[in-house]
């Protein structure tokens, strides 16, 4: 019954922008995040957000360029990506944690549910 469905990926030129969406269903998630995985590389943390949206964490590589947000009325989390670089090319995954935690987590294994992923390709 729990599902996370990503959308919004695509091809964009260097310096361009994309907005990813993740629609959740089945339950309420107190913390959600975005991870990405490039070919031949491990899955890496991008950003995460708490229930109220007041606490957010970003990977150093995307800080200042990406913004994570959520709309709990729609059970949806977003990732606004600006000033995109070729290094941002990867499959982006939405993830959710099933329990409340005092601290946000950047560790993939601490997230319980995952979406199918959406491809983001940045070309020069």
Predicted pLDDT at 10: 98
pLDDT-derived band at 101, boundaries 50, 70, 90: confident
Which pLDDT score, from 0 to 100, does residue 1 have?
Answer: 82
63-91 confidence digits (pLDDT tens): 999 999 999 999 999 999 999 999 999 99
Q: Of residues 98 and 39, which shows the higher confidence score?
A: 39
Give residue 51's pLDDT band: very low, low, confident or very high (50, 70, 90): confident
Give the contacts of 66 (CB within 8 A, at least 6 positions apart).
Answer: 46, 47, 58, 79, 80, 81, 82
pLDDT computed for residue 21 by the predictor: 98
pLDDT tens for 14-44 read 999 999 999 999 888 889 999 999 999 999 9
Asked if residue 44 lies in contact with residue 113, where contact means CB atoms within 8 angstroms, the answer is no
Give the bridge partners for 106, in sequence order.
none
Q: CA 96, CA 23: separation in Å to the nearest integer?
A: 11
């Amino acid at each position: 019954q729990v599902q996370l469905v990503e959308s919004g990926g695509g091809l964009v030129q260097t310096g361009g922008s994309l907005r990813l969406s993740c629609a959740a269903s089945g339950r309420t998630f107190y913390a959600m995040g975005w991870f990405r995985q490039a070919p031949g590389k491990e899955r890496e943390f991008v950003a995460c957000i708490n229930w109220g949206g007041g606490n957010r964490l970003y990977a150093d590589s995307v800080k200042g360029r990406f913004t994570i947000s959520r709309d709990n009325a729609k059970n949806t989390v977003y990732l606004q990506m600006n000033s995109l670089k070729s290094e941002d090319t990867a499959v982006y995954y939405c993830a959710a944690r099933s329990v409340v935690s005092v601290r946000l987590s950047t560790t993939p294994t601490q997230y319980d549910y995952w979406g199918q992923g959406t491809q983001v390709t940045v070309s020069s």
